[in-house]
């Protein structure tokens, strides 16, 4: 079983599609093919790293008192289009004239503030873990990923994808894989894999809405719209995924919207559309800001119990139902909204 500690924002199927697309330049096709080929190797490396981290947390003593009180350090490195991580340190990235390190620093810092002020969590591990980001990874690298201990961003090819640090939801999505790694410990295959991806989309979308000060009605619920390049947009693609309409034609990676279409072995980037739509429906039914009620319920369902690497979607759905009752005991309408949202997607 693959206990992947992280994942990529762009699914392999999309990378392979563009690697075969003769309408793109040969150099662009090679860049997509290389990113797809590397993904399998990164998964194996992440799997080993995540297992070691979990084992160390279980068997080794640690004094977390001081760490728990301190805010995390946010550090940025520049790969300078090489592939050695983390790269060269960027001093004072917030003041950099290069948008990539500036965006990575600013938005990672804001993710820290989001988790702390909204959910009371100090960094991804809850104990002030330092957050490292590497930018300008490789040449025309079409992805971003959390490798079990740090973030890495490619610049994109400039046609299908733009710089991956330019999207707040992409940054929060990948960092949330770290949160999942330190809490529910979801694996990366079958239903658990779909949940893993969905949790990252959910918190990525919440963070984007939080940064914009949007209500659930004002939000567009798109994932990755800010990394769509001019060629992708010219072909009618507005985003990677749409949480409100997973099967929409404007999605670069359309998804099923009902559990009846789920099959074991499905790519987690596809099956995540089912719980994504459940969250969107719940948040819209509850109104206001997505992070205020629905977000608190999803956060408790993710963090309040022991790790469950093989968790099924129905189990997570029931966790949110229970969380709605425990967090809002005097408001039965909250649980009713959560229940109705899951039933609407077959769970």
Considering 173, 177, 269, 270, which one is annotated as catalytic? 269
174 has catalytic annotation: yes
Q: Domain residues of the chain, as ranges?
A: 12-182, 190-344
269 has catalytic annotation: yes
The H or E element that residue 60 is part of is none
The two domains 12-182 and 190-344 share their CATH topology (first three levels equal): no
* Cα–Cα distance for residue pair 39/125, rounded to 1 Å: 25
- What pLDDT band is residue 37 in, cutting at 50, 70 and 90? confident
Note the pLDDT tens digit of each residue in 300-321. 999 999 999 999 999 999 999 9
Contacts of residue 335, Cβ cutoff 8 Å, sequence gap at least 6: 321, 324, 325, 328
pLDDT value for 7: 77
Q: Rounded to the nearest 10 degrees, how much is the dihedral formed by the CA atoms of 282, 287, 292, 297? A: -20
Considering 107, 174, 189, 197, which one is annotated as catalytic? 174
Q: Which CATH architecture has domain 190-344?
A: Orthogonal Bundle (1.10)
Whole-model pTM: value is 0.93
pLDDT value for 5: 41
Please report, rounded to a whole number, the percentage of residues in the chain having pLDDT higher than 90: 86
Evaluate if residue 346 carries a pLDDT over 90: yes
Distances (CA, A) of 342 to 98, 278, 300: 43, 5, 17
pLDDT value for 70: 75
User: Residues 137-166: what's their mean pLDDT?
Assistant: 96
State in words which class domain 12-182 has. Answer: alpha beta
Q: Rounded to the nearest 10 degrees, how much is the dihedral formed by the CA atoms of 181, 184, 190, 194? A: -80
Note the pLDDT tens digit of each residue in 3-36. 444 478 999 999 999 999 999 999 999 999 999 9
- What pLDDT band is residue 45 in, cutting at 50, 70 and 90? low
Distances (CA, A) of 51 to 5, 45, 289, 314: 8, 10, 36, 26
């Amino acid at each position: 079983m693959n206990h992947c500690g992280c994942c990529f924002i762009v699914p392999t199927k999309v990378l392979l599609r563009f690697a075969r697309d003769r309408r793109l330049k040969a150099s662009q096709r090679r860049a997509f093919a290389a990113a797809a080929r590397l993904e399998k190797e990164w998964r194996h490396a992440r799997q080993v790293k995540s297992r070691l981290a979990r084992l160390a947390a279980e068997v080794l003593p640690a004094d977390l008192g001081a760490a728990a009180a301190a805010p995390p350090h946010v550090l940025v490195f520049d790969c300078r289009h090489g592939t050695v991580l983390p790269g060269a340190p960027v001093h004072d990235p917030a003041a950099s004239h290069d948008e990539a390190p500036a965006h990575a620093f600013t938005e990672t810092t804001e993710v820290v503030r989001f988790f702390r002020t909204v959910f009371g969590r100090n960094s991804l591990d809850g104990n002030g873990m330092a957050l490292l980001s590497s930018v300008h990874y490789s040449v025309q690298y079409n992805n971003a990923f959390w490798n079990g201990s740090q973030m890495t961003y490619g610049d994109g090819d400039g046609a299908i994808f733009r710089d991956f640090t330019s999207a707040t939801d992409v940054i929060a999505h990948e960092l949330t894989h770290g949160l999942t790694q330190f809490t529910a410990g979801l694996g990366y295959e079958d239903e658990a894999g779909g949940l893993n991806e969905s949790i990252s989309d959910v918190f990525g979308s919440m963070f984007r809405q939080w940064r914009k000060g949007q209500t659930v009605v004002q939000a567009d619920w798109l994932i990755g719209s800010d990394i769509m390049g001019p060629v992708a947009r010219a072909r009618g693609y507005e985003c990677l995924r749409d949480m409100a309409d997973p099967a929409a034609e404007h999605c670069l990676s359309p998804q099923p919207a009902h559990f009846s279409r789920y099959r074991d072995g499905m790519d987690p980037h596809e099956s995540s559309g089912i719980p994504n739509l459940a969250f969107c429906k719940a948040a819209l039914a509850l109104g206001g800001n997505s992070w205020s009620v629905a977000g608190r319920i999803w956060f408790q369902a993710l963090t309040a119990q022991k790790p469950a690497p093989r968790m099924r979607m129905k189990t997570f759905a029931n966790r949110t139902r229970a969380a709605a009752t425990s967090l809002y005991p005097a408001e039965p309408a909250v649980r009713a909204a959560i229940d109705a949202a899951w039933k609407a997607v077959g769970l």
